[in-house]
Each structure stands twice: as C-alpha cells, then as structure tokens.
Amino acid sequence: MINRRNNWLASALAAVGVAASLSGCSTVETASSGPPIANADARERIQLKVQTGSDALDARVYELAYGQFSALMPLREAPPYTADLEIIFASAQQNSLGGATPKSPTGPRGWYTGGRAAAASASQGPLWTWQNSTMSAVLKHADGEQIWSATYRYNGGYELSGFVVHTPEQAARLIVRRLTARYAQDEQVAATKK
C-alpha cells in the first residue's frame, strides 16, 4: 500500500514539474497576409530597421538580422524601398537568485538602418545568469500593409540554451536564427496555399 501511494505521489510531482517547466518555455507567434515575399517581383526592395535601446546593440542586431534574413528576402541598404522589415528587441538579464536587470529599450529612439559599425561583444555574462528576451518583427509594404509579423519570447531560464546565452547579443543571435527559420517555414506554407 505504501509503495503504491509513493508511486502515485512521485507521478503527480513529476507531472506538476513538467507542467511548471513547460509554462515558462519560449514562444513564437506569427501572422501572415498577402503573397510570399520570396515570390515577389524582382523590383521589391526591403529596408531593415532595428530598435534595441542601445546604439551598439542596434548595430549588432542589424548585422545579425541582415545576414540571416537577406538569404530569404530582398533586403537592400540603399533607396528606393518598397517595404520595411522592422525589428524591435528587448532583453533582461535574470539570475538564479531572482534578480533582474531592466529590460531595454529604455525610451523612444529612432530606427537604426545601418551605417555604423557594430562593436564586438567581449562579455560572456556571469555564469548563473540567463536572458529573458522579446523580439518582434514586422514586414510591411511602404503603404503600411502588413505582410508578416512575429513575436518571439525567449525564456532562457527554461531552455538548455540558457546555460550558454548570458548576454543580450547572444540572445538576439539565437532569436534571429529561430525567427528566420520560422519565416522560411511560413513562406513555404503560404506558397503551398497559392
């Protein structure tokens, strides 16, 4: 009788642990409308715009996003532009003792659209910290019509990657890779519906 009760208790605790850990996992939400950009006219010219709250991080996220998204859409660095890909990124450092740094961006800023070199990040971040970050991306035509949007919420404390992602730049690198993969997947789905 005691063994059965202990097995039931162990099973119940394991289920609660799994449910608790899954409730904090990273999430991504996307929405698409209109034809896929991959099938767009060759005249399509998309401008990348980034906002992070930090000049150095603006430039670094721009480089990361340009490198990843330019393989999937016609990003250009000179006008004229027919569409914009707007990316907003905010990150807060958390630690195992419950402390946190404030999330950026800290106030209204203009869009970073390239031109300044990004400083390399030398910081690895403290060992027992992780990032909780959000990246939003909106792809829209010059007239404001939204083509694709995504919001990725990264919770480093609930992912194995949290053991190696300690800085906002590291979180941005990971999220940009995941968002470009999701964009490619969404483009394939949109192309099959045509």
CB-neighbour burial class of residue 37 (10 A; exposed 0-12, middle 13-18, buried 19+): buried
Q: Which domain holds residue 131?
A: 25-193
Decide the pairing of beta strands 129-141 and 146-155: antiparallel
Going residue by residue through the chain (194 aa), what tens digit of pLDDT does each one get? Answer: 444 444 544 443 333 333 334 446 889 898 888 666 655 566 899 999 999 999 999 999 999 999 999 999 999 999 999 999 999 999 998 876 665 555 555 455 789 999 866 555 545 666 678 899 999 999 999 999 999 999 999 998 888 888 888 899 999 999 999 999 999 999 888 878 76
Q: Considering the domain boundaries, does residue 1 fall inside one? A: no
Q: Considering the domain boundaries, does residue 17 fall inside one? A: no
CATH number assigned to the domain comprising residue 115: 3.30.160
Number of structural domains, the chain? 1
Please name every residue paired with 138 in a beta bridge, in sequence order, or none if there are none: 86, 149
Q: Considering the domain boundaries, does residue 89 fall inside one? A: yes
